[in-house]
Amino acid sequence: MPPGFGEGLKGTILFWIAIAFSAYQLFVSTYAILPSQVIRSLHVGFLCLIAAALIANHRSTSRLTLALGWGVGLVGFSTGLYQWIFYNDLILRAGEISSADFVMGIALIVVVFAVSWQMMGPALPLICGGFLAYGLFGQYLPAPFDHRGYSLDQIVEQMSFGTEGIYGVPIAVSATYIFLFVLFGTFLERAGMIQLFNDLALGLFGRARGGPAKVAVFSSALMGTISGSGVANVVTVGQFTIPLMKRFGYSSSFAGGVEATASMGGQIMPPVMGAVAFIMAETIGVPYATIVKAAIIPAILYFASAFWMVHLEAGKRGLMGIPKDKIPLMLPALRKGWYLLLPLIVLVYLLFAGYTPLFAGAVGLALTVVLILGQSVASETSKPMIRLAFWIALGLVCAAFFEFGVVVIIALVVALVLGNLI
């Protein structure tokens, strides 16, 4: 069982809930047979359940608090199911919610606020709570801060049943593009992309003046192409680069500052950028590829400036590069993990060829899974010609995706899984 879900039965249950969430997201991303409102509400419901259960599994000190945490999560998930089951009824009575709608709407708001408070601290819930209070009581304020006044029913409907409250554009983007790209980056990380990026960075800049810091900047830039998250970048790359910088003479504060600065640039590094990039594309109504094109030069300038600053700091402190015998050879590393770059190349091609981010992300994710499983099968074959024939056949089957659809990829993944098990 992967770490992080909790121990025992509660961790196992949460793990399979997370698997179900991922399967649901992949299904709706591929087929999109559910209405947008239902996709958003189930997305939020799953997130509430998983977040509340994670908090309960890791912070509960008794069975009562554990049950309370899971109960909060189940209430949040039930609000998503409610919108799915009664979707047609909610459409027919739009503008006039029933008593059951009111209860479920209040429950959703309370659960979202409670989970946000526990996960992110009080700042965001307090700000949002202040605006909710303004909607309820703003008519009692002096001009020009007053408004005509809104009833609690109106606010609950706007927040919990429309597409301008909790289920607004950010959730729409999260339920479609963001989740898919996060999953794409996670699969690549698990496949060994981090090690490949670190080896390439070490091979290129490890021996240069201030090599460890330059490796940190370049590794973070490469990691930013598949992550789009500054925090994830720090966690994955920083655990290698920060100790490396400290070992070769950089102070702890400077090493941490370099990694934090470089990692934050991952949010503007194409092709997989931060969540805001997807929200920008959705809000201003332009293709995501346009946002990617606009971000290329700023991203290059950002990392170039960070690279230049660590170069100057290294010169000021007289810090040399890493000894040659401690640097991995770049070409062998590339020869070993070259296939991991293929999903990224395909993703960039599809985005600039005019395909939607949803389609490009789904293809990139499917290709990543196929390559991971395919490499595992191919490694069992000792004869080079058989391996070559296997990869060619694998490529032809993947190409059939464009003609016959996702069923081909599903069948291929099932076949590769069976091949790994046999």
Higher pLDDT: 304 or 349? It is: 304
**Cα–Cα distance for residue pair 360/175, rounded to 1 Å:** 15
pLDDT of residue 414: 61
pLDDT digit string, tens, across residues 382-402: 566 656 666 666 666 666 666
Query: Percentage of residues in the chain with pLDDT exceeding 70?
Result: 87
Least confident span in 11-20, 305-314, 370-379: 370-379
pLDDT digit string, tens, across residues 129-184: 999 999 999 998 888 888 888 888 889 998 998 888 899 888 888 888 788 888 88
Domain ranges of the chain: 8-167, 172-348
Mean pLDDT, all residues of the chain: 82
Higher pLDDT: 27 or 139? It is: 139
Query: Percentage of residues in the chain with pLDDT exceeding 90?
Result: 21
Name the nearest CA neighbour of 38 among 24, 19, 52: 24
pLDDT of residue 125: 93
Residue 415: pLDDT above 70?
no
Name the nearest CA neighbour of 348 among 288, 263, 413, 284: 288
CB 394 within 8 A of CB 370: yes
pLDDT of residue 417: 55
Q: Quick one: pLDDT band at residue 409, thresholds 50, 70, 90?
A: low
AA identity, residue 158: Q
Name the nearest CA neighbour of 273 among 258, 252, 291, 297: 291
Q: In which element (H, E) is residue 409 found? A: helix 406-421
Residue 421: pLDDT above 90?
no
pLDDT of residue 209: 80
Residue 64: pLDDT above 70?
yes
CB 245 within 8 A of CB 258: yes
CA distances from 100 to 111, 153, 174 (A): 16, 12, 27
* Residue where the block lists tokens 């490009």: 360
Q: Helices (H) and strands (E) in the chain — how many of each? A: 21, 0
Crossing angle, helix 179-191 and helix 357-378, to 10 degrees?
20
Q: Quick one: pLDDT band at residue 84, thresholds 50, 70, 90?
A: very high
pLDDT of residue 403: 57
Q: How many CB atoms lie within 10 A of CB 383?
A: 8
Name the nearest CA neighbour of 47 among 178, 191, 233: 178
pTM: 0.79
Which among 19-33, 57-71, 106-120, 356-370 has the top mean pLDDT?
106-120
